[in-house]
């Protein structure tokens, strides 16, 4: 279950001076004054455990695309280099400079925001109220949450956007877990709300490739689902 581990203190604000002669009576009236409460930001910690394999696909060949575009257009066909499946496997990982692998923190945040559709909560408000704290940064600077487990090389056929069938090699964690810290606005959510929303995100949305809520396929592959430890 969730464990609240942080609460921000409300900042001390200076009381504004009373209205001057140039101000209208409505502005000077205490009954008309608008008061904005200080944000009540808290952090809840969860232990999540994968209920299905997690497959990762980091976009890593940005450098090669930049080099190709810098060369400009050409009619000459270049010989295709042999595909290095081991390199594809390694490059698809989100990895911190220290060597450990992680899951993008934004993936969990996006899953929770997407789950708001199931409970009638406004996704636009959830975007301003829910954040996932990172354990470190990917080599390209992206915030990531450390994943526990050992990945294996998973090779399967995929269909590109052009419809051409291709073979890809990706890291798959058959058993995995994470310690997740969710920062939330307590004026919008209770700790129980956050826990229940995270449960829905794990059971019905998922993270990573082939998740149930994947935009690249109709129903996903059944990967990337998880549960809160102790909740089944």
Summary mean pLDDT of the chain: 83
> How many C-alpha atoms does 5 have within 13 Å on its Cβ side?
12
**Does the structure show a pLDDT above 60 at 199?**
yes
Distances (CA, A) of 106 to 84, 154, 173: 29, 24, 19
**pLDDT tens column, 97-154:** 999 999 999 999 999 999 999 999 999 999 999 999 999 999 889 999 999 999 999 8
- The pLDDT of 193-202, averaged and rounded, is 98
**pLDDT tens column, 164-180:** 667 778 999 999 999 99
User: Taking CA 103 as the corner, what is the angle to CA 100 and CA 104, rounded to the nearest 5 degrees?
Assistant: 120
Taken in order 219, 225, 228, 232, the sign of the CA dihedral is positive
Q: Which residues pair with 113 in a beta bridge?
A: none
Q: What per-residue confidence (pLDDT) applies to 163?
A: 64
- The pLDDT of 152-158, averaged and rounded, is 82
Q: What per-residue confidence (pLDDT) applies to 225?
A: 97
Q: By mean pLDDT, which of 28-32, 92-96, 101-105, 107-111 is the weakest?
A: 28-32
> Residue 21: which pLDDT band, with cuts at 50, 70 and 90?
very low
Angle, helices 105-119 vs 191-200, to 10°: value is 100
Question: Which 3 state secondary structure label does DSSP give 193?
Answer: helix
Q: What per-residue confidence (pLDDT) applies to 136?
A: 97
**pLDDT tens column, 121-131:** 999 999 999 99
- The pLDDT of 36-40, averaged and rounded, is 93
Annotated domain spans of the chain: 3-13+39-70+83-228
């Amino acid at each position: 279950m969730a464990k609240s581990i942080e609460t921000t203190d409300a900042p001390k604000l200076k009381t504004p001076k009373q209205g001057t002669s140039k101000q209208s009576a409505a502005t000077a009236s205490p009954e008309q004054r608008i008061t904005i409460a200080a944000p009540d930001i808290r952090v809840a910690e969860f232990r999540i455990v994968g209920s299905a394999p997690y497959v990762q696909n980091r976009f890593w060949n940005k450098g090669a695309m930049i080099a190709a575009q810098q060369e400009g257009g050409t009619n000459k066909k270049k010989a295709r280099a042999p595909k290095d499946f081991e390199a594809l496997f390694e490059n698809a990982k989100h990895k911190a400079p220290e060597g450990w692998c992680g899951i993008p923190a934004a993936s969990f945040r996006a899953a929770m925001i997407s789950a708001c559709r199931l409970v009638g909560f406004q996704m636009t408000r959830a975007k301003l109220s829910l954040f996932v704290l990172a354990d470190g940064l990917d080599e390209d600077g992206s915030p990531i949450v450390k994943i526990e487990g050992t990945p294996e090389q998973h090779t399967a056929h995929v269909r590109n956007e052009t419809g051409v069938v291709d073979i890809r090699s990706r890291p798959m964690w058959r058993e995995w877990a994470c310690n997740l810290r969710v920062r939330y606005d307590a004026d919008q959510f209770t700790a129980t709300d956050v826990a229940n929303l995270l449960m829905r995100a794990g059971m019905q949305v998922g993270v990573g490739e082939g998740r149930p809520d994947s935009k690249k396929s109709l129903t996903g592959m059944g990967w990337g689902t998880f549960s809160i430890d102790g909740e089944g």
